[in-house]
């Protein structure tokens, strides 16, 4: 079992509001005093400044939900890694299944976004995962290895600086969750792939991102290659999020 510090990252998705954010972040920060893991919240871009101020002087890290592959220029609506860095962003989610599905993001674009984040000292949380059809067809390993391979190929020696998140698409927002054994099996495949790419694979966090919640967090986090969680809906409820954080030891 790895001894690295676990990472629990909340993904608010397209949720939040000034008053709700204030209450949520204050409640989370108040409960972090005994946290044994690293904790981050990945918030919608308009709220980065607000949450940066709320987290100032606390252990809570700030994350973004996306980043442009471009440095700057005529890319209306895009947010660059340099801009995120200005707001103290430490993590940026790239390649979330919703971005791949609804915005047509390719493996190469995800790899380019990871590269852009790394160039500005932001840790990309690279999401990989299979659909239900792909799992039922026996293609899980093939799919996740292909998605991760693009990022490894594009980022070379910098690959040891990324975080990987396995998010089975069939278990996101559906109430379904991979069993701890199913999740561990895929995490072990990803760990082996990383080991082939870098001698630092053992210290690289691989998060589980398929509907981890207060009820199942402990059993998932007990698996040898599950180093934390990318938390969706449960990260919007301070009590649930703090329960998951407490399980990450």
Give the model confidence (pLDDT) of 134-146 as tens digits. Answer: 999 999 999 999 9
Report if residue 73 sits inside a domain. Answer: no
Distances (CA, A) of 240 to 4, 54, 121, 235, 243: 23, 20, 30, 7, 5
Q: What percent of the chain has pLDDT over 90?
A: 92
Residue 195, domain CATH: 3.20.20.70
Report if residue 170 sits inside a domain. Answer: yes
Report if residue 74 sits inside a domain. Answer: no
Catalytic residue among 61, 105, 130, 167: 167
Distance of CA 65 to the CA centre of its chain: 9
Give me the residue label for tokens 């910098």. Answer: 158
pTM of the model: 0.96
Query: 71 an active-site residue?
Result: no
Catalytic residue among 96, 98, 130, 187: 96
pLDDT single digits (tens) 141-181 = 999 999 999 999 999 889 999 999 999 999 887 777 789 99
Report if residue 13 sits inside a domain. Answer: yes
Strands 7-11 and 123-128: unpaired
Query: What is the distance in angstroms between the CA of the first residue and the CA of the last residue of the chain?
Result: 12
Report the pLDDT value the prediction gives residue 174, as an integer from 0 to 100: 78
* Number of domains observed in the structure of the chain: 1
Interatomic CA distance for residues 138 and 64, integer angstroms: 33
Report the pLDDT value the prediction gives residue 3, as an integer from 0 to 100: 59
Report if residue 234 sits inside a domain. Answer: yes
pLDDT at 2 over 60: no
pLDDT single digits (tens) 32-72 = 988 999 999 999 999 999 999 999 999 999 999 999 999 99
Domain that holds residue 60: 7-68+79-247
Query: 96 an active-site residue?
Result: yes
User: What mean pLDDT, rounded, does the chain reach?
Assistant: 95
């Amino acid at each position: 079992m790895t001894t690295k510090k676990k990472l629990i990252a909340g993904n608010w998705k397209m949720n939040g509001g000034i008053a709700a954010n204030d209450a949520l972040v204050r409640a989370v920060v108040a409960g972090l005093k005994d946290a044994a893991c690293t904790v981050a919240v990945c918030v919608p871009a308009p709220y980065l400044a607000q949450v940066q101020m709320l987290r100032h002087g606390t252990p809570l890290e700030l994350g973004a939900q996306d980043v442009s592959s471009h440095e700057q220029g005529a890319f209306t609506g895009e947010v660059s890694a340099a801009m995120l860095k200005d707001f103290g962003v430490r993590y940026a989610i790239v390649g979330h299944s919703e971005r791949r599905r609804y915005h047509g993001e390719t493996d190469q674009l995800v790899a380019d976004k990871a590269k852009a984040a790394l160039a500005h000292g932001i840790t990309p949380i690279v999401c990989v995962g299979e659909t239900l059809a792909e799992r039922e067809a026996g293609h899980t390993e093939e799919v996740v290895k292909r998605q991760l391979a693009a990022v490894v190929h594009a980022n070379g020696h910098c690959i040891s600086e990324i975080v990987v998140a396995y998010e089975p698409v069939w278990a996101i927002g559906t109430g379904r969750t991979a069993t701890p054994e199913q999740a561990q099996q895929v995490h072990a495949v990803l760990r082996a792939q990383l080991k082939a790419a870098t001698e630092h694979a053992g210290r690289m966090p691989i998060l589980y991102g398929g509907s981890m919640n207060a009820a199942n967090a402990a059993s998932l986090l007990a698996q040898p290659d599950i180093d934390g969680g990318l938390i969706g809906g449960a990260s919007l409820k301070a009590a649930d999020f703090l329960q998951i954080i407490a399980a990450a030891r």
